[in-house]
Amino acid sequence: MKTTEINIDGLVGNTHNYAGLSFGNVASEKHALQVSSPKKAALQGLQKMKLLHDLGLVQMIMPPVPRPAIKIMQSLGFASIGDVPETLLASLYSASSMWTANAATISPSLDTLDRKVHITPANLVSKFHRFMEVLHTAHYLKQLFPEGNFIHHAPLPAHALFADEGAANHMRLWREEDNHSINIFVYGGDTHKFPARQTREACEAIARLHQLPAKNVLFLRQTAKAIDAGVFHNDVIAMSNANTLIYHEDAFDDFDAGMLSGYNVIKIDAKHLPLNVAVSSYFFNSQMVTLPSGKMVVIAPIECEENTQAKACFDRLIDEGHIEKTYYLNLRESMKNGGGPACLRLRMQLNASELSHVNLNLRLTDLKYNQLVAWVEKHYRDELSFTDLKDPLLQRESEQAFSALSSLLSLKMEMA
């Protein structure tokens, strides 16, 4: 059965800032308290979406979670945002829902025993500022993929034993010629410096809920070396698309490429790309996609083009025929918080019937792109500092921005 892969990118919210909330994310901590540009961040993200659209792919939009998180604030006993201490203010204003790779894990009907698409929102219990996104994310996913045509599961129990950070720790390999697939779930092992954010128990639960045949599931453990180097998600150390997996030699414990016989498995050696360079350039957080022509290309952060070793690795992949081309994009506003091209997107593979039920109000078109650019230009600040979060006008600006976006996307949105 012919299928179509759709990409779902998170639209950057108007409160995008650098609060350094993500311990273990080297870029986030490095740029903590610097001045951000919400307008640039949103426009850069939209330019990435437009490139995928222009390349002929189905590009969908995930709206940002409304901020500040008023209901959470009230549940903590604060009457207004002005009463909130600095230690909590940045969390209530976080725009981290932009990294849609953490929104959910999705299994296509091709893989599941009941031949249904299964969607499980990530519980994101490892970080408070991300945990607050979960209910809104689940709400958006149900509007994007209406219930009745897609199976929506509740997030896993909100406990550290089942810590789940979504598709950033899930890879799917698929051979079109014989319709064979392997779902790879990656979890964290013991570390010394930074905590792991995905548990094996969470991975196993999702595999069961999604009715994935055990023979087509592989669980891999991240190395402590990688996590302590700043690899907080698997998509910072490995990337996959269609029948191809590209990974760093320090990515996994006890991994043998023979586990994936019949697939194109490519190891990047540390001598060609040291672990610290892989993390700083976000080489593996590039987005691999298959074009309508069947050719595979990569959307990479511009930092890879600027790094001699990272660019040489991409050039080698092209020379060896693994990919056709690399597009380098400026996503610096996201990158400073530790999110590259792959962090910004979620993806799923749908057949024609399933695709017909998707909410097309959230599909990017040339017209919608222009409308969203105009919306950003009108409602987003050029600069935002940590102290600006105390500005009472920011809350009003957010409410106005989300009201306008709700109308633009014909989407039911409520302030958090």
Catalytic site positions? 165, 233, 343
Identity of the amino acid at 279: V
Dig out the tokens for 53 from the structure. 């659209």
Q: Angle at the Cα of 372 (from 300 to 366), degrees rounded to 5?
A: 75
User: CB-side exposure of 356: number of CA atoms within 13 Å?
Assistant: 3
CB of 263 closer than 8 Å to CB of 245: yes
Q: 9 and 61 in contact (C-beta within 8 Å)?
A: yes
Asked if 281 contacts 310 with a C-beta cutoff of 8 angstroms, the reply is yes
Distance CA(157)–CA(198), nearest Å, equals 13
Of 416, 385, 384, 383, the C-alpha closest to 402 is 416
Burial class (CB in 10 A: 0-12, 13-18, 19+), 4: middle
**H or E segment at 60?**
strand 58-62
Q: What is the helix, strand, coil percentage profile of the chain, to 5?
A: 40, 20, 40
What is the Cα gyration radius of the chain?
A: 20
Residue 63 DSSP class: P
CB-based burial of residue 79 (10 Å sphere; 0-12 exposed, 13-18 middle, 19+ buried)? exposed
* b (16+ CB within 10 A) / e for 217-248: bbebbbbbebbebbbbbbbbbbbbbbbbbbbb
What is d(CA 405, CA 403) in angstroms, rounded to the nearest whole number? Answer: 5
Alpha-carbon distance of 301 to 342, in angstroms, equals 10
